[in-house]
Structure 1
C-alpha cells in the first residue's frame, strides 16, 4: 500500500498542476476576449471619429483623415472610405482589402490573403467607413500579454512544489515521533504515550493507542499473575505425588502398597483436573474468547450440562433435578455457555454433602432469562462472596477438594456474554444459589 505521505503529495501536486493548467487556459481565453473587445472598440471609435469630421467635403476630410496620425492604434488598422462602391481613401494603399458585404452586424470577419481579418463598417450618408485589422496582429499582442502573466507562475511552480514537499514532511513529524515512542515500548515497559503537546489530529490516535497499551499491560500483568499462581498451585499436588510415590516405595506389605496406590491415584487425578481447569481458564480469558455468537437453545445447553454432572451427583447420592421454561433462546456460544453452567453444577455438587440436593431452574420474563443453580450445601459467607470468583480462591473449612478455578471460568464466560451473576440463598434457605441474568432480546 502506498504511504499516506506519498498519496498526499501526489494528490496535492496533481491538484495544483491541474488547477494551474486550467487557470492558464482560462487566462489565455480571458485575455484574448478582453483584447478583442478592446480592439473592436478602438476600431469603432476610429470610424466614429472619421464620421464626425464630416465627409461631405471630399478633399478636406480625406486629407485630414490621411494626415491624422494621432488616432489610437491607427498604425495597426486598415482604414478605408468607400463612396459609391469605389475606394475614396485608404490608410495602406498596398493592401487591397475589398469592401465587405453589408450585413446586419457592423462587425464581421473575412479571409484575406490566407489570413483572418476583423472589420467594422459605419455608414455615413453615401459613404461607408471600413476599419479592418489582421487577427494575427491581435494574437501576437495576446500571446505577449499571456506570456507576461503565465511565465512567472510557471517559474514559481518548482519552488511551490519543493515547499509543499517539506511542509508535508513537517506535518507528518508528530506521527514519526509517535512511531519512535511506540518502538521504545516493550513487554516490560507499556507506559501510556504523552498526549499534551501532540496536535489535535493525532490525539485520537494516541488515545486509542494508550487504551490499547493499558489493556495490554493489564493482560500482561494478569498473565504473569496467572503463571505465578498456576506454578504455585501445581507445585503442591506435584509435591504430594512425589511424597505418595516415596511412601509407595517404602510400603512393606500389600495393604500399605494398596493404600499408597489409591492415594497416588487420587493425587494424579487431582493434578489432571487442576491442569485441565488451568487450560480451560486460559481459554476463557475475556481477551482470548473469540467464539462467534449465534441464536441457540438455552434448554439444550442446560440439559447437556446436567447430563454431564449426573455421574458426579450419583457418586455422592445427590439429587440433581431441573425445571425449565420451554423455548428459551439467546444469543451466545453454546460450547462456552455449557462450560459455564457445567462449572456451576459441578461446584454445587462438590460443596453439597452426600444425600443433598442440587436444582437448576430457568425462567423467562419480559426482557430477561434467569438461570438459578441452587444447592442445600454448606453455603458461602458474606466475606467469601466478594472473593469466590478470584482465581485459586477456596472457601476455608469446607473440606471439599477443588482447585478454586471453576468460578473464575464462570466469571470470564459471563463477562464475554454480558451476563450478570448474583449470589443468593440456596434451597430452603440453606446452601447457595448462583443466578445468571441473561438478556433475551
Structure 2
C-alpha cells in the first residue's frame, strides 16, 4: 500500500544522501587542495634542510640489503654540478634521472609523483612524494569530517518520520471525521483548522457533498412528487374497477370498462414520463454517446411519429423550414424524446383546426447557433407562468387538457444535458413557441 509518510521519508533521506555525497566530494576536493599546499611546503622545507649536508663525489653506494622503511613516503635524489648523482634514498625508484627545477607532477609506472627540485651550493636537490599518499590523506580528512553526519542519519530518519507524521495528523483527523459520519450526513467539513496544502481537498469534498445533497434532495422530491401523482390515478383506477364490478347491465359495464381503460392509459403514460425523466437526469445514462446529429432528421422523425395523432385531432402538422446544415453533437434518442414531447404537447393543447409547425434553422449572428423550434396557435402560456411550466408536475389550472405535467420538465432536462438554451415565447401564429438553441461549441461537422 502506498504510504505518504514512507514516501516522504524515502524522498527526504534520498535527497539528504545526495547532498551528503556532494558535500563529501566537495570536502574531499577542499581537503586535497589543502593537503597539496601543505605537502608542497614540506617538500620545499625538506629540500632546504639538506643544503648544509655534504655528500661525497664517489659513486653512489650499492642498495642496502634491508628493505626501505615503507612509512617513509619521500624519495631524495642529489646531483652535483656535473650531473653526477651523489645520493638516492630509494634505489628502486622509478623517478627520472634528470631534475626539472620547481614543482612538477611526474607520471611513472607506480603512479603520479609530486617532485620539487632546487639548486643549492653546487648541488641539485630533488624531493619526491607519491600523489597516492596525498589522496589517501585527503580522503581520510573528508571521511573524518562526514562520519559524524553519517552516524546521525538514522536519528535524522526517525526525526523526519515523527515530524512528517505530526504534519499529517490533520489529514488523519479529517479521515476519522469522514469515516465516522452517518451515510445521510452531507454537511460541509470544517476547513478552518485544515492546513493550506489540504484545503483544496477539503473544499473539493465540500463541493461534492453539496452536490450530493442537492442530488439527494432532488431525488427525494422526485420520489415524493411521483408518489403523490400516482396516488390519484391509482385511486381512480380502484374506483373504476369497483364500478365495473357493480355494473348491473352490459351497457353500464362497458362504460365502466371504457373509463377503466382510459385511466390505465393515463397511468401508463404517467409512468412512462416518469421513467423518461429519470433517464434524462445528469449521470443517469452513462452509456449514452454524443454523436453528430442532423436536426432536420430528428424533426422529420417527430413529424412522422405524430402524424396520426394530428390527423385524429384535425391539426395541420408540418415543417416550416428544415435546414440540413444544422448539425450538433447530441444523443439522438434523447433529442427524439425532446422533439416528441414538444410536438405532443403542441397537438394536445391546440384546438381542432389549428396548426403546429416545426422549424430548424441557423441563426446568422456571430457565433452562429442552430435552432429547433415548435410553434402552435393554441392558447399559449402567459409570460409570468413560462418558468413555472418547466417544473415537474406543474399544470395550469385553467387548462382543460389532462396531462402528467412532465413534458416540458423532460424537455428542460434534455436541454441541460446538451448545454442548449430553452426559450419559451409567443409564436408567429399567436400561440406558444418553444425553441431549443444549440451554441457554437455544440455544433458538429458531418461528411
2:204 equivalent to 1:203: no
Q: Which moved more, 1:20-29 or 1:337-346?
A: 20-29
* Aligned residue in 2 for 1:354: 352
2:29 equivalent to 1:23: no
Shift of 1:120: 1.8
* Aligned residue in 2 for 1:262: 258
2:166 equivalent to 1:170: yes
5+ residue gaps, structure 1: 60-74
Asked if 1 retains the 8 angstrom alpha-carbon contact of 2:99 and 2:126, the reply is no
Which of 305, 315, 320 is residue 317 of structure 2 equivalent to?
A: 320
Alignment of 1:109-120 (within 5 A): 109=106, 118-120=114-116
Aligned residue pairs, count? 419
2: CA distance, partners of 1:187 / 1:409: 30
Shift of 1:408: 0.7
Q: 1:313 to 1:136 in 2, by over 3 A?
A: closer
Shift of 1:174: 2.6
Q: 1:407 to 1:136 in 2, by over 3 A?
A: closer
* Aligned residue in 2 for 1:37: 37
Q: 1:141 to 1:413 in 2, by over 3 A?
A: same
Q: For 1:131, what is the secondary structure of its paired residue?
A: strand
* Aligned residue in 2 for 1:63: none
Asked if 2 retains the 8 angstrom alpha-carbon contact of 1:378 and 1:398, the reply is no
Asked if 1 retains the 8 angstrom alpha-carbon contact of 2:95 and 2:108, the reply is no
* Aligned residue in 2 for 1:381: 382
Q: 1:208 to 1:99 in 2, by over 3 A?
A: closer
Q: Which moved more, 1:10-19 or 1:212-221?
A: 10-19
2: CA distance, partners of 1:317 / 1:34: 110
Asked if 1 retains the 8 angstrom alpha-carbon contact of 2:317 and 2:355, the reply is yes
Asked if 1 retains the 8 angstrom alpha-carbon contact of 2:105 and 2:112, the reply is no
2: CA distance, partners of 1:134 / 1:330: 84
Alignment of 1:126-165 (within 5 A): 126-133=122-129, 138=134, 141-165=137-161
2: CA distance, partners of 1:95 / 1:154: 44
Q: 1:385 to 1:30 in 2, by over 3 A?
A: same
Asked if 2 retains the 8 angstrom alpha-carbon contact of 1:325 and 1:364, the reply is no
Which of 293, 297, 313 is residue 296 of structure 1 equivalent to?
A: 293
Shift of 1:76: 6.7
* Aligned residue in 2 for 1:66: none
Q: For 2:218, what is the secondary structure of its paired residue?
A: helix
Shift of 1:359: 1.1
Shift of 1:199: 1.7
TM-score by length of 2: 0.84
2: CA distance, partners of 1:110 / 1:400: 111
Alignment of 1:63-142 (within 5 A): 77=74, 79-83=76-80, 84-85=82-83, 100-102=96-98, 106-109=103-106, 118-124=114-120, 126-133=122-129, 138=134, 141-142=137-138
Shift of 1:332: 1.6
- Give CA deviations for 1:206-229 in whole Å, capped at 9, x if unaligned: 221111111110000000000111
* Aligned residue in 2 for 1:371: 372
1: CA distance, partners of 2:386 / 2:112: 103
Shift of 1:237: 0.6
RMSD of equivalent CA atoms: 2.9
Whichever structure has more helix as a proportion of its residues is 1
* Aligned residue in 1 for 2:61: none
Asked if 2 retains the 8 angstrom alpha-carbon contact of 1:421 and 1:437, the reply is yes
Shift of 1:354: 2.1
5+ residue gaps, structure 2: 57-71
TM-score by length of 1: 0.86
